[in-house]
Amino acid sequence: MLKIYNTLTGRKEEFEPLTAGTVKMYVCGVTVYDECHLGHARSALVFETIRRYLERSGLAVTFVKNFTDVDDKIIKRANELKIPWQDVTSRYIDAYYRDMGRLGIQPATVEPKATEHMAEIVALVEALIRKDVAYQVNGDVYFQVGRYVGYGRLSKRKLDDMQAGARVEVDARKRHPMDFALWKGAKPGEPSWESPWGKGRPGWHIECSAMAMKHLGETFDIHGGGADLIFPHHENEIAQSCGATGKEFARYWLHNGFVQINQEKMSKSLGNFFTIREIFEKWGYREAVTGETLRYFLLSTHYRSPLDFSDQALQEAKRALDGFYGLFQRLEEAAQDSSRGDAHVPALVEPLDGAIRQAMDDDFNTPAAIAVLQRLRTDTNKLADAGLSRQAGARLLEAFRLAGRLFGMFQLSTKDWEFQDLGIKLKTAVALSDDEIERLIADRNEARKRRDFARADEVRQTLAAQGITLEDRPDGTTRWKR
RNA sequence: GGCGCCGUACCCAAGUGGCUAAGGGAGCAGUCUGCAAAACUGCGAUGCGGCGGUUCGAACCCGCCCGGCGCCUCCA
């Protein structure tokens, strides 16, 4: 039984989809005016993981994640770069897919763009005017917050409380300072679309309401996004949508916590952000290794908690994965000794799915699920110590890969994993071929047989300088890692 | 000013009323090894920011305090 923490109610609730067997979920994507940073990566990864888990649970998921491709920041950026605004959005949509691809994040079922939903947006604004919860002033249209009694129910705040502290410049044309734009009249040179109120463009919030309703219906199951979207974005979405339809909008609201640097929120305005691109370029590992390391790092904390980013934290994630891939290598070598461990394999493999399910059913508790995998790692190493047959090794390996698939981990071949620590990795640009390495190892093992340990250690030193670690097995053969 | 979140060992991090407070990393000791590495074993919070309270029983509930953070303005 899946329980989900719902921001709307402030409680963990049993999840019951509107239609049995299906889930309709909408997640706020990015505004495409710049490179994505780690915070965007976290949000994308959290909701993809939720989607994967729901699918694994047998539910048919329709997952909608939008691009905001018309907005003040995009216009500003286009002016700075002196290029058409469409070039800004297409450039950063490409960058988004590049970065998400590196992280192994799969596209959503539908990835709508605001600019492709103008008809729906205009129709929604018209409906709100018709219901008298929105009003137009010159070429602008505003939502009248005072007309929606539920305003504040998501963010748990009252209109009066907010008025006191609001530092916003109050637009005199608004009837209430918190009224927000549904439609903005175009100034010369700005992107614009025809509407009953003249040329203009949508406000930020309305696009999500329009696209969610178009692709998922007026009421759907899950709406997600970063915690910074609770107010005003999601609050306004609810007001608009419920104001227009008179029905509930999303039933479960999920919000992920921030990525932080030294306990502070990572954000553009503080200037303390790391782009996904930077991290991939700075880390010397191949993309798949860095990507999996980032996934492990991001999933090792519960999605609602803050997560502090640092090189050390990333290296701990890397070491944890080294342990798994080292074990996978052992499993691939199984059948070298006895098969005394085989009898215990079912006791490890059979409860695995249930244990992970138990963790994930509790509000997608990925750290607890990872702990399950870590315990399995220790237990499996013990069996490998005792000796495993080829079939038993394969079965265990398959169990890891299947469980890991949920988190986008454990899918690389052991040859493609890179075991070196970052410091060593960066120092060893020269790469020996597998054949050269094997030859040196054969050479060393000859020396060992002669008990010429000086020569044997010399070879080890040579290889260590290339970032290659040797591990002698009990049977006299040698395993190597790089 | 309003609303909300967080504080668990050296570091990261689960647990939110009841067996010995998960798991990982680092460290130390041991087993194995020609030496290593890996793996395994053992050690490590009598205590969960502090002080009170509720309870047969609290890291978990309530109150106050200390420390940190977020939202209220674009923000994943």
A428-439 tens-digit pLDDT: 666 789 999 999
Whether residue A67 is predicted with pLDDT greater than 80 in this model: the reply is yes
The residue among A101 and A268 whose pLDDT is bigger is A101
Q: Which is more confident, A125 or A340?
A: A125
Closest nucleotide C1' to the C-alpha of A71: B74
C1’ B10 / CA A313, Å: 15
> What confidence score (pLDDT) does residue A422 get?
82
Q: Give residue A338's pLDDT band: very low, low, confident or very high (50, 70, 90).
A: confident
pLDDT for residue A435: 93
Beta-carbon count within 10 A of A475 CB: 8
Edge-to-edge strand list for the sheet holding A220-226: A60-68, A22-31, A220-226, A250-256
Backbone angles phi, psi at A143, to 5 degrees: -85, 135
Residue A368 has pLDDT above 60, yes or no: yes
- The nt closest to A476 (CA vs C1′) is B33
By residue count, chain A amounts to: 482
Domain with CATH 3.40.50.620 in chain A: 3-136+144-167+205-261
Residues A44 and A86: beta-carbon distance below 8 Å: no
Kindly state the percentage of chain A with pLDDT values over 90.
83
- Rounded to whole angstroms, the distance from the CA of residue A408 to the C1' of nucleotide B29 is 37
Helical packing angle, A72-81 and A85-102, nearest 10°: 100
A152 burial level (CB within 10 Å; 0-12, 13-18, 19+): buried
Decide if pLDDT at A257 tops 90: yes
Range from A101-115, A341-355, A399-413, A425-439 carrying the lowest mean pLDDT: A425-439
Taking C1' of B72 and every protein CA, the nearest residue is A162
Res A158: pLDDT: 85
Give the tens place of pLDDT for each residue, A160-185: 877 655 555 567 788 888 899 999 99
CA of A342 to C1' of B40 (A): 18
Residue A274 has pLDDT above 60, yes or no: yes
Helices A453-465, A434-449: crossing angle, 10 deg rounding = 160
What confidence tens digit (pLDDT) does each residue in A387-400 have?
999 999 999 999 99
Q: Which nucleotide is closest, CA of A371 to its C1'?
A: B23
Distance A137 CA to B69 C1' (A): 39
Distance CA A159 to C1' B1 in A: 14
Identify the three-state secondary structure at position A68. strand
Identify the CATH number of the domain defined by range A3-136+144-167+205-261. 3.40.50.620
User: pLDDT category, A90, cuts 50, 70, 90?
Assistant: very high
Residue A172 sits at the vertex; the CA angle it makes with A125 and A143, to the nearest 5 degrees, is 20
Share of chain A above pLDDT 70, in %: 97
Residue A187: what are its φ and ψ, rounded to 5°?
-90, 160
Spatial separation of the C-alpha atoms in residues A229 and A446, rounded to whole Å: 65
A205-232 tens-digit pLDDT: 999 999 999 999 999 999 999 999 999 9
Across residues A321-335, what is the average pLDDT?
Answer: 93
Q: What pLDDT sits at residue A108?
A: 97
Contact A69, A93 (CB under 8 A): yes
What pLDDT score was predicted for residue A430?
A: 66
ipTM: 0.95
Q: A11 has which bridge partners?
A: A6
Which of strand B's nucleotides are less than 7 A from any protein C-beta? 1-6, 11-15, 22-26, 32-41, 68-76
Distance, CA of A381 to CA of A389 (rounded, Å): 14
Mean pLDDT is lowest, of A61-65, A231-235, A323-327, A331-335, for: A331-335
DSSP letter for A273, please.
-
From A41-45, A339-343, A396-400, the region with the lowest mean pLDDT: A339-343
